[in-house]
């Protein structure tokens, strides 16, 4: 799933692919905001950890469950 996070006062967005579903991502973001956490922690497909300050989140966009691949299928 493609995840895009807009950061306030930053011209670029954070973009990565995750194995988590849209419902899981929504739950993590909601939980971090409701609990008053300072950081939102998300992992991508490659195991990298992203720490985003909750107070700076502008938006979170969850894309398609499966990205279209370019190329030939054997």
CA torsion angle 12 66 68 17 (round to 10)? 30
Domain boundaries, the chain: 2-62
Q: Burial-class residue 20 by CB neighbours within 10 Å (0-12, 13-18, 19+).
A: middle
Condensed to tens digits (0 to 9), the pLDDT of residues 12-60 reads 999 999 988 889 999 999 999 999 999 999 999 999 999 999 999 999 9
Please provide residue 28's backbone torsions phi and psi, each rounded to the nearest 5 degrees. Answer: -65, -40
Is residue 5 a contact partner of residue 59, using CB atoms and an 8 Å limit? yes
- Alpha-carbon distance 39 to 50, whole Å? 9
Predicted model pTM: 0.78
- Mean pLDDT on 60-72: 73
Q: What band does 66 get if pLDDT is binned at 50, 70 and 90?
A: low
Architecture of domain 2-62: Roll (2.30)
In contact, 52 and 14? CB cutoff 8 Å: yes
């Amino acid at each position: 799933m493609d995840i895009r996070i807009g950061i306030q006062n930053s011209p670029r967005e954070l973009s990565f692919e995750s194995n988590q579903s849209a419902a899981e991502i929504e739950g993590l973001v909601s939980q971090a905001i409701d609990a008053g956490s300072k950081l939102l922690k998300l992992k991508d497909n490659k195991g990298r950890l992203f720490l985003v300050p909750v107070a700076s989140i502008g938006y979170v966009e969850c894309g398609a469950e499966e990205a279209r691949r370019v190329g030939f299928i054997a």
